[in-house]
Amino acid sequence: MYPRPFHYHRATSLEEASALVSQLGQEAKLLAGGQSLIPLMKLRFANPAHLVDLNFIPGASYIRRQGEALCLGPLTRHAEIEHSPPASQIPIVHDCAAGIADVQVRNRGTIGGSLAEADPSGDWAAALLTLGTTVHCLGPSGRREIALADFIKDAYTTALEDGELISQISVPLPPANSGGAYLAFKRCAPVYASAAVAVQLSLDDGHCRDARIYLAAVGLTPVRASEAEAELRGHVINSEIMAAAAEAARAAADPQPDMRGSADFKRQLVLALTRNAIGIAARRARGEHVEGSHIYA
Amino acid sequence: MPEPEAVRITIKVNGQPRQLRVEPRTLLVEMIREALDLTGTHVGCDTTYCGACTVLLDGLPVKSCTVLAVQADGAEVMTVEGMAANGELHPIQQAFMEKHGLQCGYCTPGMQLAAYHLLAHNPRPTERDIRKAIAGNTCRCTGYQNIFRAIEHAAERMRR
């Protein structure tokens, strides 16, 4: 299988890429890691007449601490994040990067491409939403910053305007005594999760001060499980509280039945994943080193 | 729409510098197999799933069915043909032979390159490291256990 013919443009800066897609119009697409776009083009679901390649732009891939935030370049590959010491200081970020697909896909796929694709089964959005992430954008009308919660509009739909692209992702560093976990249930490594749960919480004298819980792959966009968060807030995290939060997360999930399982099966996955993720997040918040790993069928 | 123009690329394949003109839609695996006649790299699922087409792009395993040839401009590519040196099989290949790490052989080049990358960075992989390193490679014969043993054996041999 190979894509329809297209004109290839190699951008040398993000500004140039934005100008190029603005000028070329609807027929143009940006190529980041290509791990979603190239398969779609091979299947002829996507047939751009022009492809603007971002991969040769110098300085578009970086991971650095800037004040109280971790800043990521849009072309930063999942594998670079997986192996980055500053990124690994936020365990939920490391979990997410290290669990995406397989080694090969993580070596190509980018965090900016993943967010801009807004695939309902994508991993990054749910994990980064728990941290209050901001997306920096650059387009024909200049630069702007959008809260990730406002950036994701719908399945495969973001707030990006024509000609606009992601220029940076800023992740606020979690406060002291915080912990997070991102857990997915997958049939095997290369596929998308059947369901996934992102939990980020902070403790205050043993009590949960704050919590954010987002579900992935069980709705058209990441689903915030607000009632599950409320079950945790102000409480000592014990097995009853974890069970109550997990039940609330299950109720918040809105999955579609598909080849990855029935809706009920996915809700049950959400329940179990939430309980496990809260447990890991709480232990990490207490300073324990806990390896998080996705669960495979 | 006018026909897209072919793009001139410079690439190093298994240590050999090559200059090629490729149509933008040419996939890296197609260029390797058709233009360079290196048919050791296999096309399996053609959907970024099975990893049979795995090659090393600037030292990193990628699925060459999901990279455009033009994206490899200026890069170094290593295929299974680049593993053996001076007529001697690479220790990973030797280990696959000794531990029966292949049955039909279709996934083998991809498996060996995934293993090559693992052992280049991690000479003492744990069981989990090995399983994670080949999680993107499907063996349709389901001969994973012997592949696993072959990689373990290769790691041992390469440490000597």
The DSSP-derived string for B40-78 is: TSPP-SSSSSS-TTEEEETTEEEEGGGSBGGGGTT-EEE
The last residue of one of the domains, among A172, A187, A203, is A172
Q: What is the tens place of the pLDDT at every residue in B89-148?
A: 999 999 999 999 999 999 999 999 999 999 999 999 999 999 999 999 999 999 999 999
Q: Which structural domain range is residue A193 located in?
A: 178-286
Class of domain B7-82: alpha beta
Nearest to A245, CA basis, from A216, A275, A218 = A275
Q: State whether A151 and A246 are in the same domain.
A: no
Residue in B closest to A80 by C-alpha: B60
Please identify, in words, the CATH class of the domain defined by B91-159. mainly alpha
Show Cβ contacts of residue A262 under 8 Å, excluding neighbours closer than 6 positions: none
* B10 CB within 8 Å of a chain A CB: no
DSSP B81: G
Interface of A with B (CB under 8 A): 1-8, 10, 31, 34-35, 38-39, 41-42, 49, 51, 53, 55-56, 79, 101-105, 107-108, 188-191
Q: Taking the model in full, what pTM does it have?
A: 0.97
pLDDT in tens, A118-152: 999 999 999 999 999 999 999 999 999 999 999 99
**Does residue A97 share a domain with residue A195?**
no
A67 with A151, same domain: the answer is: yes
Q: Label residue B37 exposed, middle or buried (CB < 10 Å: 0-12, 13-18, 19+).
A: exposed
Dump pLDDT digits (tens) for A100-116.
999 999 999 999 999 99
Q: Are residues A167 and A191 in the same domain?
A: no
What is chain A's mean pLDDT, rounded?
97
Distance, in angstroms, between B2 CA and closest chain A CA? 9
Mean of pLDDT values over A169-177: 97
Q: What is the ipTM of this complex?
A: 0.97
Asked, for residue A2, whether it belongs to a domain, the answer is: no
- Mean pLDDT on B8-23: 97
Residue A58 in any domain: the answer is no
